[in-house]
A and B are shown apart, each in its own frame.
Chain A
């Protein structure tokens, strides 16, 4: 051994240095470390808690035995139907609208573009409640929806269960797909399209041959996000599925934790994560397996729009119908029900009491209107602060992660980053919150316990919404041509400088879109913060939830309207500050 050792040594040393300084390794390790703290650590705690001797039987209860069909397998079937249908339809609807707005001369492009981003700002529980306000039939008894009240008999399948759940979730998530696909379409290099036009290609050929392949990463990203969002959504199946006993994995998980069977709940949650991860891995493979299309290059201008010709108005009618159902109707119902004393008569006896009224003993147990609620101003401040902090930290970490995985996409480290950054999507918020309390709740070394602080809300929000920042950033960064950065690198620019001077400005559209998504998502999120917030750190969505659960739906809807208004203002400010964030709105 000793005699042989000296000979290969220089070779090994050389190899060693190259391994150590392989481009991106340090960056990958940094990103991975952040993800471990934010996501893996809390989740490992949850997994370990199901492996203790007392909890381990939960695995067999869930997977085999007499409980398994109702506890796991049927909810799994429902969950997958919801996820797949929602993912596919959202990409079709969102893709259609994005294409129409970005690439065609459809009438009222700007209006459609703004309206299409709105549904995602309406909490899905509000849309589900709105569905009930319209379609609720007499199965349960009590108040019926507006249509049944008008004398139209609503069958059970339209009022309850799978169909309304799908419709509500699609109306909610297609808007997410629109935002991602539109951001990607807007960056399609006009050179490509012009070259095709010069070569004599027609609209359909350009669409199928250039635009679709180039935007495939964004389509897959959009479909994945919609799938993951739909399978872990709790509000819609809980509100619309329960009366016909339709269960999904997330309603099962909630129910199990709710009645104290946390081990079973966590097992269901873990299985939900694993199964969804399998689906998403397949999607991710489809993206990674293909060549990267660098479409933002050093030059290139805006392509001519497709002329829809006689199809302009028919296509506009389709777009308008979609947006009417997804935006206008739910908002009207929300607004009306924040004004109407009885949900039975949504459009009569309107009063502003729930908004500006003083405390009156015989209305809602003396609860004053939300302007007179001392908690509301403070909770609005906390909520806005939370939204801004999480949007900023989320975008920062999302940029790092998406840059790393896009530039250095080979190797298992990169694959791990992609997979881990996706995990939080599949974890129902309430389980994520519980895991965070367990992980960050106790003092770590010299650091104090974070429980009950603003910091834990920000950290949890950042971790929870990382999939959105990473995935939207990734779809855009993959299109920022590496050649620009390479040339800067040759001139000796450091990593930080390259990021700041080249990648960030070029990717800012996607990042800004991601930032808006994050802000909007966190200020209306309920499931994550419901365990993490404390009396001194109230957030608006929790206040709305309190009111709804006490039967004060008017107050709940009033706050929801307020959240909606804040979301819209956020979007407008963001547009103003960063006029390029929605380039598809330009003429």
Chain B
């Protein structure tokens, strides 16, 4: 028994030491080990992983990447189940919903942070810890620019509670998609800004009525104004963005979905100047699965996803170099068609604060439905 314990301890120490070695190795050093491993399995919350796969296999022949596209919520459920089963299927986890990922996956030891040494100095501290942020994504108020050629038809979020927007604001049910609940939560956390925006819009201080704060009051009024809930972001895009509509609705969706405007027949544009903010901006994070079967290939994948040293991040970052996605690497130049990050008015969420407030906001939304 004692012998067994010592062997186990020795094994653990050895693997920890080995992991530390891997963490400091360059991509060139990782490559032969990764090629010996031969494959890498990636859980990804975006379908764009298919294009990463193509580029990765072209760059590193001999390593078969199996990209697997599933929503953040589903990944969390799956990874927790796998951990319970004592099996590790994924090598790399590419996911949003950091407010849930940090307590339920990172703190539970199901995933671990890995920052490729070559990019560590190019990111802000908050973007490498607790998890490595590969890029920033958004949930913001958007409108159809062909129907509203003079810019956004509203200048304040509070406009959405006015009679003229009754039944004409669309978003995904916050009780079905975590990132929309994060958006509602941020509005509550930003109650001071919401109160100020109310006074600017209506010329009088906000009367909270029964609400606890300005954010809650806004959410209550928004739902009371016949807010339309749908099931997916694409439903919002189609409703809000479709070209040729007269008097179309507006809604909260992903800024970078603007990239599909031409293919899908949309005219989506962000209402960046709406007061106090058009919505939220949040990290897409990438991490190692604890106990990954292909540790070297997993690290090589994360290294690849962070892009190369060219201005646009090269082939690894290409699928994400689109207007509306913001690279975390300071040396990747902003996309020319997008509002520069510095001028983008969306609130940047703090995953820890969001995680703490989210359940209460979810309960509020529940009472309003």
The contact string, 1 if C-beta is below 8 Å from chain A, for chain B 158-184, is 000000000110100111111001000
Beyond contacts A142-B239, A239-B231: 17 other A-B pairs, Cβ-Cβ < 8 A, are: A67-B366, A140-B228, A141-B248, A142-B242, A242-B230, A245-B369, A259-B176, A259-B177, A261-B359, A342-B265, A362-B262, A366-B50, A437-B84, A438-B81, A441-B85, A534-B89, A535-B68
Within the assembled complex, what's the spacing in Å between the Cα atoms of A260 and B232? 18
Q: Chain B CB within 10 Å — which of A70, A364, A366 has the most?
A: A70
- Residue B343 at the chain A interface, CB threshold 8 Å: no
Q: Are B366 and A258 in contact (CB under 8 A)?
A: no
**Which residue in A66, A255, A366, A551 is a CB contact (below 8 Å) of B234?**
A551
Take A140-B230, A245-B369, A550-B47 as given contacts and tell me if A442 and B84 are in contact as well, using a CB distance cutoff of 8 Å: yes
B264 contacts A by Cβ under 8 Å:
yes
- Interface 9-mer from B72-80, B111-119, B273-281, B299-307: B72-80
Which residue of A has the minimal Cβ distance to B67?
Answer: A535
Residue contact B228 to A243, C-beta cutoff 8 Å: yes
Closest CB-CB distance, B58 to chain A, in whole Å? 14
B81 contacts A531, CB within 8 Å?
A: yes
Question: Would B78 and A531 count as touching, CB distance under 8 A?
Answer: yes
Chain B residues in 8 Å Cβ range of A46: none
B240 within 8 A of A: yes
In the complex, chain B residues whose CB is within 8 Å of the CB of A546: 47, 69-70
Which of B's residues lie within 8 Å of A, judged by CB?
Answer: 41, 47-48, 50-51, 66, 68-71, 73-74, 76-78, 81-82, 84-87, 89, 100, 104, 167-168, 170, 173-178, 181, 228-232, 234-235, 237-242, 245, 248-249, 260, 262-265, 358-359, 362-363, 366-369
Contacts of B249 in A (CB 8 A): 140-141
Considering only residues 344-399 of chain A, those with a C-beta below 8 Å from chain B are 344, 362-367
Q: How far is the CA of A280 from the CA of B122 in the complex (A)?
A: 63
Contact of B176 among A258, A434, A442 (CB under 8 A): A258
Q: CB distance B263 to A363 under 8 Å?
A: yes
Please count the residue pairs between chain A and chain B whose beta carbons lie under 8 angstroms apart in the complex: 139
In the bound complex, what is the Cα–Cα distance between A247 and B367 (angstroms)?
13
Nearest CB of chain A from residue B213's CB, rounded to whole Å: 17
Please tell me if A504 contacts chain B, counting CB pairs below 8 Å. no
Q: Tell me, yes or no, whether A415 is within 8 Å of chain B by CB.
A: no
Some 16 contacts from A to B, beta carbons below 8 A apart, are A71-B366, A140-B228, A141-B248, A142-B241, A142-B242, A238-B231, A242-B173, A256-B175, A342-B265, A362-B263, A363-B263, A366-B50, A531-B74, A534-B89, A535-B68, A551-B232
Whether A92 sits at the interface, judged by CB under 8 Å, is no
Contact with B along A331-346 (1 / 0, CB 8 A): 0000000000010100
In the complex, what distance in Å separates the CA atom of A312 from the CA atom of B231? Answer: 45
Which residues of chain A (248-280) have a CB below 8 Å from chain B? 254-261
Q: Mark A56-74, 1 if CB is under 8 A from B, else 0.
A: 0000000000110011000
Q: Distance in Å from the Cβ of B335 to the closest Cβ of chain A? A: 17
What's the nearest-Cβ distance from chain B to residue A136, in Å? 10
Minimal Cβ-Cβ distance residue in A for B47: A550
Is A549 in contact with B181, judged by CB distance below 8 angstroms?
no
Which residues of A come within 8 Å of B, CB atoms? 66-67, 70-71, 139-143, 238-239, 242-243, 245, 247, 254-261, 342, 344, 362-367, 434, 437-438, 441-443, 449, 451-452, 530-531, 534-535, 546, 549-551
- The SS class assigned to the A binding surface is loop
Question: A438 vs B78: C-alpha distance in the bound complex, in angstroms?
Answer: 11
* B41, A255: Cβ atoms closer than 8 Å: no
Q: How far is the CA of A438 from the CA of B362 in the complex (A)?
A: 26
Instruction: Determine the chain A residues whose CB is within 8 A of the CB of B89 once the complex forms.
Output: 452, 534-535
Q: Is the Cβ of A255 less than 8 Å from the Cβ of B81?
A: no
Say yes or no: B81 contacts A434, CB within 8 Å. yes
Whether A451 touches B82, Cβ cut-off 8 Å, given contacts A141-B242, A531-B77, is: yes
- Chain B residue numbers with a CB within 8 Å of A239 are 231
**Would A139 and B167 be within 8 Å (CB), given that A257-B77, A342-B265, A442-B85 are in contact?**
yes
Contact across chains for B230 and A255 when beta carbons are under 8 A apart: no
Question: Whole-angstrom distance from the CB of A346 to the nearest CB of chain B?
Answer: 15
Pair A140/B41 contact, Cβ less than 8 Å: no
Q: Are A142 and B263 in contact (CB under 8 A)?
A: no
- Once A243-B230, A342-B265, A437-B84 are accepted as A-B contacts, the answer to whether A535 and B181 lie under 8 Å apart by CB is no
